[in-house]
Amino acid sequence: MKKILVVDDDKTLQTILRLYLEKRGYEVKLASSGIEALTVFEQDPPDLVVSDIMMPEMNGLEFCRRLRSTRLGQLVPFIFLSAKGELEDRIEGHSTGADDYLTKPFEARELVAKIEAQLERSRRIHSEMVRLMQQLATDSPASVTSTSPDPPASAQVMESILSSPVMPASLTPAEARVFWEVIQGFTNKQISNHLFISPRTVQTHLSNILTKLKLDNRAQLVRFAFERGYRPPEEP
């Protein structure tokens, strides 16, 4: 179930969007300001964000800027839903880092269409990165393979990763398992289900991995693995 964070100080609109989106199979988290949204995002990162602009404490533009400055917030799809509908407002929203912009009043069906389009785009990007990584790894002498059918790597694969000259020995076994999952394009929620740990723990491991490898985000981590010939364990 895809998770959507709705950020708006209008409680009535929050309720309407939550009910509408939940009926269409989404899990919905709510926040009333940018400050609250940053906290919610950190605790349990969503698959997509829908945010108003004019809000107390921290407006949507500043929220988007701060989110895009974080490692986990750089790639999450972001849609502005705002009453500010002038051309300059829309340009500013996109320039701040939004992927799409919808003005109020709006048709709920159009919002869902934009949400689905952004989620599909995100899925294609992850799939293509993994495909390219696997394609290169097929011809790479540095490839690490496994006969394990399960998403988490086997003990032999983990040992190979940790002892590899291109994989820092500072990665713990738990971090290496998360690394293996991330390069397959899984979300934090999916990884938490695969490894039986909380999304917050996944986020902590991912942050540690990025710090140790001196990378900024998931995309760079996938490219790191792609360039060094790592690929997910293959099914027999």
Q: Please give the pLDDT value at position 148.
A: 38
Q: How far apart are CA 213 and CA 220, in angstroms?
A: 10
Is residue 236 in some structural domain? no
For residue 216, give its domain range: 140-227
Are residues 14 and 115 part of one domain? yes
Are residues 211 and 151 part of one domain? yes
Quote the pTM value: 0.60
Are residues 147 and 111 part of one domain? no
Question: Which of 87, 122, 157 is where one domain is finished?
Answer: 122
The number of beta carbons lying within 10 Å of the beta carbon of residue 92 is: 16
Question: Which of 77, 94, 122 is where one domain is finished?
Answer: 122
Is residue 197 in some structural domain? yes
* Weakest-pLDDT range from 122-136, 150-164, 209-223: 150-164
Are residues 117 and 22 part of one domain? yes
Are residues 111 and 19 part of one domain? yes
Is residue 132 in some structural domain? no
Taking 60 as the threshold, does the pLDDT of residue 163 lie above it? no
Number of domains the chain is built from: 2
pLDDT mean across residues, the chain:
80
Is residue 201 in some structural domain? yes
| % of the chain residues with pLDDT over 90 | 37
Are residues 169 and 87 part of one domain? no
Q: In this structure, what CATH number is given to the domain that contains residue 115?
A: 3.40.50.2300
Q: Please give the pLDDT value at position 183.
A: 81
SS3 79: strand
